[in-house]
Amino acid sequence: MAIFEDLTTMGHEQVVFCHDKTTGLKAIIAIHDTTLGPALGGCRMWDYKSDEEALRDVLRLSRGMTYKNAVTGLNLGGGKSVIIGDPKKLKSEALFRTFGRFVDSLGGRYITAEDVNIRVSDIEQVGLETAYITGVSSRAGGSGDPSPVTAWGVFQGIKASVKYKLNKDALKGVSVAIQGAGAVGSHLVEYLVNEGAKVYVADIDPEKVKSNVKLYGAEAAQLHEIHKLDVDVFAPCALGGFLNDQTIPDIKAPIVAGAANNQLLDEIVHGAMLKERGILYAPDYVINAGGVINVYQELQGYDAEIAKKKASGIYDTLLAIYQQADDQQITTNAASNMIAEQRIQSVRAMKDLRNTMDNQTWVQTSRGRGR
C-alpha cells in the first residue's frame, strides 16, 4: 500500500514492473505524467541494493523528466525506466530485446533512450522490438552524441544569466570556471572562448585539462580551488550534489550555471542558501535541457542545426524563470518548478474541458438518436 501512497504524493500515472525469467530482466518503467505528450526519459541500468531503492529512483527521475520537458516547452511528458542488475554481468541482446517488448506493450505512452550505464548500442537492441526509442547513433539516422547540443544550451544559459545578473549582452571579458572538462565541459570551453570569455578548467583527469589548455587556450585550475575562484560564473559540469553546506560558502562567483545533473545536494536547503548569498542559480534541469531537446528533435526527423536553434530557447526560458523568482521572492528552482506546473495544469484544464464538451455532444447525439 505504501507504493500507492508514493504514487499519489508524487503524482504518477502508471508504474510497470517487468520481469523475464529467461534473460533475468527485472525492470521498472515509471510514467509520471502524459498531459503534454508521451512520457520520454532514459533507461538507467544499476545494481540497486534493493527493489525499493530502484523504485524510489525511477519515481524521482521520472517526475524530474516531467518538469524538465514541461519547462523546456517540449510536447512531452515525463517518464524513466530502470533495469536492475550489474551491467557488466547482465547485459545481453536478449535482455534488451525483452525490455523492448515491454516498452512496446505500452503503445507509445513511454519512449526510452540512454541514461547511466546504457549505451547507444543497447538502445539500438531495444529498438529491434519497438519503435518507441530515441537517441540512436547518427550512423543509424539518429541524433548521435548529445553533448554538443547540451553544451550549446548551457552556453546560452550562461549568456542569459550574465545578462540578468551583470547586465552584459556579450561574454567578452567575462570569466568562467568550469568543473569537469568532459564531453559537455569541453564543448562549452570552445563556445565560451570563441566568444571572448576567460575560461578556467579543472578535471580529475589531467589529460582533459591539458587538451583544453592546448586546444582552446583555457587556463588550468586546481581541483579543490575551481569553485572558489573569483570569477563571474562557476559552471559545474561534472558531479551531482556539489552545491552543499561545505562548498556554497566558498563560491565567490555571482552566478552558478553548469551542465551537471542534480547539482543541489538538497533542493530546498541549498537553493535557499544560494539565494541568501545573492548567487544566481540556473536550475540544472533547465540549463542542461539541450540533451533532451536533441533526442526530441530525433523524433521529428533529426537536424543538428534545428536542435541547436531550439536549445537556444534556454536563454529566454531562464530569463523568465529569473524574473518570476525575483517577482515572487522565491528561489530560481522553485520558480522553474512553478512554471512547469502551470503549463501542465493549463493544458490539463484545456483537455478536461474538451472531454466534457465531447461527452455533452455524445449525450445530445445519442438522445437525438433515441427520439
Q: Enumerate the active-site residues.
A: 80
CB of 43 to ligand NAD, least distance (A): 15
Is 175 one of the binding residues for ligand NAD (CB under 6 A)?
Answer: no
Is 215 one of the binding residues for ligand NAD (CB under 6 A)?
Answer: no
In the chain, the amino acid numbered 345 is: Q
Sheet with 198-202: strands ordered across: 219-220, 198-202, 175-179, 233-236, 255-256, 280-281
Residue 276 is placed in which grid cell? 541568501
CB of 101 to ligand NAD, least distance (A): 28
Q: How far apart are CA 160 and CA 210, in angstroms?
A: 29
In which residue are the cell numbers 498531459 written?
35
Q: Which stretch binds ligand NAD (CB under 6 A): 38-46, 183-191, 227-235, 310-318?
A: 183-191
Give Cα 210 distance to the centre of its chain: 29
Give, as ranges, the residues between 129 and 168 that touch ligand NAD (CB under 6 A).
146-147, 150
Q: How far apart are CA 337 and CA 65, in angstroms?
A: 11
Q: Single out the residue of 260, 274, 279, 325 in contact with ligand NAD (rule: CB under 6 A).
A: 260
Would strands 77-84 and 43-46 be described as parallel, antiparallel, or unpaired? parallel
Is 279 one of the binding residues for ligand NAD (CB under 6 A)?
Answer: no
The 222-241 site mask, x for binding ligand NAD (CB under 6 A), equals -x-------------xxx--
Instruction: Yes or no: say if 222 and 206 are a contact pair by the CB < 8 Å rule.
Output: no
Neighbours of 79 (CB within 10 A): 32
Is 184 one of the binding residues for ligand NAD (CB under 6 A)?
Answer: yes
Q: Single out the residue of 128, 140, 204, 215 in contact with ligand NAD (rule: CB under 6 A).
A: 204
Q: Which stretch binds ligand NAD (CB under 6 A): 11-19, 22-30, 176-184, 342-350?
A: 176-184
Q: Which residue is nearest to ligand NAD (CB)?
A: 182
CB of 260 to ligand NAD, least distance (A): 4
Q: How far apart are CA 273 and CA 331, in angstroms?
A: 9
Q: How far apart are CA 176 and CA 214, in angstroms?
A: 17
Residue 312 half-sphere exposure, CB side, CA atoms within 13 Å?
7
Report the residue number, 70 or 106, with the smaller CB distance to ligand NAD. 70
Q: Nearest to residue 111, comparing CAs of 19, 18, 38, 59?
A: 38
In the chain, the amino acid numbered 297 is: Q
Report the residue number, 159 or 227, with the smaller CB distance to ligand NAD. 227
Counting residues that bind ligand NAD (by CB under 6 A) gives: 24
Q: Single out the residue of 13, 33, 57, 203 in contact with ligand NAD (rule: CB under 6 A).
A: 203
Is 183 one of the binding residues for ligand NAD (CB under 6 A)?
Answer: yes
Q: Give the interface with ligand NAD as residue ranges (CB under 6 A).
A: 146-147, 150, 179-185, 202-205, 208, 223, 237-239, 259-261, 288, 291
